[in-house]
């Protein structure tokens, strides 16, 4: 599954797994900065997806209120 094919739930799970990495035995200080950047980008992508979903819901609500 490519990054673009993932739904919001999958992305949130990836974000949680990424955050868990910081607390795991696999943590390496040398990789932390890059991992942090990746997770920050993923969090922004999730926020964007959620905003788009919110807009879609508003459109649907407007259609049903007519």
Cα–Cα dist 25/6, whole Å: 27
Token pair belonging to 65: 């209120």
- The predicted-structure confidence for 1-58, as pLDDT tens digits, reads as follows 565 679 999 999 999 999 999 999 999 999 999 999 999 999 999 999 999 999 988 8
Cα–Cα dist 3/8, whole Å: 11
Would you list the domain boundaries of the chain? 7-64
Q: Which of 47, 38, 30, 48 is nearest to 14 (CA)?
A: 38
Note the Cα 10 to chain centre separation in Å. 8
Residue 59: per-residue pLDDT: 83
List Cβ neighbours of 50 (8 Å cut-off, separation of 6 or more).
8
Residue 2: per-residue pLDDT: 61
């Amino acid at each position: 599954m490519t990054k673009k094919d993932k739904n919001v739930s999958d992305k949130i799970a990836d974000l949680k797994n990424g955050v868990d990495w910081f607390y795991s035995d696999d943590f390496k200080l040398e990789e932390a900065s890059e991992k942090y950047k990746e997770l920050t980008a993923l969090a922004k992508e999730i926020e964007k997806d959620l905003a788009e979903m919110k807009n879609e819901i508003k459109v649907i609500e407007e259609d049903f209120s007519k």
